[in-house]
Chain A
Amino acid sequence: MSPLDWLVLFGTLAAIVGYGIWKTRTKQDMAGYLRGGYQDKWHTIGLSVMATQASAVTFLSTPGQAFDDGMRFIQFYFGLPLAMIALSILFVPRYFQLRVYTAYEFLEGRFDLKTRQLTAFLFLLQRGLSAGITIYAPAIILSTVLGWSLNLTCLAMGSVVILYTVAGGTRAVSQTQKHQMVVMLGGMAVAFLVIVRQLPPELSFRHAVHIAGTLGKLDIVDTSLNPSARYTLWSGLLGGFFLAMAYFGTDQSQVQRYLGARSIAESRLGLLFNGLLKIPMQFLILFVGVMVFVFYQFNAPPIFFNQAELARAHASAMAGKMHDLEQAHTAAFEHKRAELWQLDHALTGNDSTAIAAAEGSVRSAEAASAAIRQQAKQVIATALPSAKTKDADYVFLSFVMRNLPRGVVGLLLAVIFCAAMSAVASELTALASTTVVDIYKRSLRKNASDAHYVRAAKLFTAGWGVLAVLFATFASLLDNLIQAVNILGSLFYGTVLGIFMVAFFLRRVQGTAVFLAAIISEALVVTVFLRTNVSFLWYNVIGCAAVVMLAALLGSASRKPTLAG
């Protein structure tokens, strides 16, 4: 990395963190520290909600996913705008009416303490583990590509976040996230423009898009009804709606963002702003990945994007085989590039027969090239049994490091760090507020002073932060656990959403009925996960529907018949 890149990276991060600490330098009471003191306007809320959801993996893996699998992933977000409308109407007024600190606090008033603490516990379990992964996932990619120490990368990211989160609480998080989100969106827009400029000058943008479409990268909408297909229009609309309802409506890391708004109107507007911008933002990130794909149709790509693993394979007993495959890959690339220029020529001539013939040749050439890459992955797996052969996560960062100009590299690294820090910061404040409000203040230390709870919140924020960094440091030893953590969210969200739905709509159902319904429904969701291959987006629908139906059933069974007077 050049000195200019370092300057851009550290300058951006220091300015944002410094601003967040400076803005929140005054002494805060508990409401100010945990809820932000009702000061934020709608644009701060909207950007903060978006920054909380956008982790570093969003910017590292999503372009790689488009490179590998095309843009179908965008369907995952189709339910989100509708969920923002539903949350604005149903959830926001209720939270504001009761002036709650956490989403779970609302459940005690409506049901009982055990239901409140069950949902708080589910949140702490799932979010506590995933905070470590939020640090680890980008750190492993950054350290591999940049040659940095993995543990130092985890420690650097974690300690900066702990510093400003402990110092300024929720308001520091919102204030920094606003600027982090601007850097993220601006950085990706710059990346897009620079990548398009790096395409061959003879190739028009229109033809670049046509090539991406010919090679299957623009199959965006899938209307099939197959429940095991991960991303379809229907799973995106329905499953995505329930997932977004659960995530934005009941996950404290999100609820805390819009509870800090000046008013209900500002809070609602912030959520609607998120609903309006989310799909265009994801489209931009995925389209950047598609343009990187087109770039590598005209510039020789590596046979395997994780260069560290590739170097290890070259140093192994399979080096000869690897070398042969790389030569075959280069030859296949040259052949494909020639076919692509034929297609470009046919497109310029607007001759439909020639275009169809050239498209067929390009697809065959791409299939041949993909087969060689697949063989290389098998060779790497044989040579290095512990190596991961999925290299999509490394595509974007290795492209950035090799091909983008000085300064832009630093800006995109700042994007990735901003994303990691903003997501972790929200998680830490949410974990701390849930621990203090739902557990510590409610059950362990009921009548302490306001200053005591602020000190406790700071300690819990730091404690959860240290735990997240430790978990991230040891995560490389626990690969299977990481997968489990990633699935964990989808396993619990539907059930938690169901509890809130019962709270809002089934007014006669009481605590014990909904508590039992939640336990049974959770067992059902886990069974579906273990015994079927139903896509995880449907777990949210199944869990929520099961809680609502069972609670209604158990609620009506437990009500004693009364004699009419």
Chain B
Amino acid sequence: MPDEPARRELDAAPPFLSWTGLYVILAVTLAFEIVLFAAITAIYR
């Protein structure tokens, strides 16, 4: 088990939003990019 300061560092929140919020933003951005690229492919094929 990590000691107390190490434990606190592990649980440290990001300077903005939350970790879950940042992960969701990244996943949604990827989904948006794939949909956008698929749309470009379909439009210009």
Q: Which residue of A lies closest to B36 (CB)?
A: A220
Chain B residues in 8 Å Cβ range of A223: 38
A50 CB to nearest chain B CB (Å): 15
Residues facing A in B1-45 (CB within 8 A) are: 2, 6, 9-10, 12-15, 19, 22-23, 25-27, 29-30, 33-34, 37-38, 40-41, 43-45
Contact check: which of B10, B23, B43 meets A213 at CB < 8 Å? B43
Which residue, of A85, A88, A214, A263, has the highest number of chain B Cβ atoms within 10 A? A85
Question: Interface-forming stretch among A271-279, A297-305, A520-528?
Answer: A271-279
Chain A residues in 8 Å Cβ range of B14: 265, 268-269
Chain A residues in 8 Å Cβ range of B2: 97
Q: Which residue of B lies closest to A85 (CB)?
A: B23
Question: Interface-forming stretch among A76-84, A185-193, A432-440, A501-509?
Answer: A76-84
A123 CB to nearest chain B CB (Å): 27
Q: Which residue of B lies closest to A214 (CB)?
A: B44
With A218-B44, A233-B34, A279-B33 in contact, do A264 and B19 touch (Cβ < 8 Å)?
no
Whether the pair B15, A82 counts as a contact (CB closer than 8 A) is no
Chain A residues in 8 Å Cβ range of B9: 96, 263-265
Whether the pair B27, A213 counts as a contact (CB closer than 8 A) is no
Whether the pair B19, A88 counts as a contact (CB closer than 8 A) is yes
B20 CB to nearest chain A CB (Å): 10
Q: Check: A37 CB closer than 8 A to any chain B CB.
A: no
Whether the pair A221, B6 counts as a contact (CB closer than 8 A) is no
Whether the pair A265, B34 counts as a contact (CB closer than 8 A) is no
Contact check: which of A210, A221, A275 meets B37 at CB < 8 Å? A221
State in angstroms the CA–CA spacing of A487 and B10 once bound together.
37
The majority secondary structure among interface residues of chain A is: helix
Q: Which residue of B lies closest to A264 (CB)?
A: B9
B42 CB to nearest chain A CB (Å): 9
Q: Check: A108 CB closer than 8 A to any chain B CB.
A: no
State in angstroms the CA–CA spacing of A97 and B4 once bound together.
11
Q: Which residue of A lies closest to B45 (CB)?
A: A219
Q: Which residue of A lies closest to B35 (CB)?
A: A221
State in angstroms the CA–CA spacing of A219 and B39 once bound together.
10
Whether the pair A78, B26 counts as a contact (CB closer than 8 A) is no
B22 CB to nearest chain A CB (Å): 6
Q: Which residue of A lies closest to B7 (CB)?
A: A97
Chain B residues in 8 Å Cβ range of A89: 23
B38 CB to nearest chain A CB (Å): 4
State in angstroms the CA–CA spacing of A212 and B44 once bound together.
8
Whether the pair B30, A264 counts as a contact (CB closer than 8 A) is no
A277 CB to nearest chain B CB (Å): 10
Q: Which residue of A lies closest to B6 (CB)?
A: A97
State in angstroms the CA–CA spacing of A213 and B23 once bound together.
33
A: which residues have CB within 8 A of B?
71, 74, 78, 81-82, 84-85, 88-89, 93, 96-97, 209-210, 212-214, 218-221, 223, 233, 263-265, 268-269, 272, 275-276, 279-280
Which 4 pairs across A and B sit closest by C-beta, in order of nearness?
Answer: A213-B44, A220-B37, A218-B44, A221-B38
29 interchain pairs, CB-CB under 8 A: A74-B37, A78-B30, A81-B26, A81-B29, A82-B27, A84-B26, A85-B26, A85-B27, A88-B23, A97-B2, A97-B10, A209-B44, A210-B44, A212-B44, A218-B40, A221-B34, A221-B37, A221-B41, A264-B9, A264-B10, A264-B12, A265-B12, A268-B14, A269-B22, A272-B23, A276-B26, A279-B30, A279-B33, A280-B33
Q: A97-B6, A221-B41 are in contact. List 17 more A-B contacts (CB 8 A).
A: A78-B30, A85-B26, A88-B19, A97-B10, A210-B44, A212-B44, A213-B40, A213-B43, A213-B45, A220-B37, A220-B41, A264-B10, A265-B15, A268-B19, A269-B14, A275-B26, A280-B33
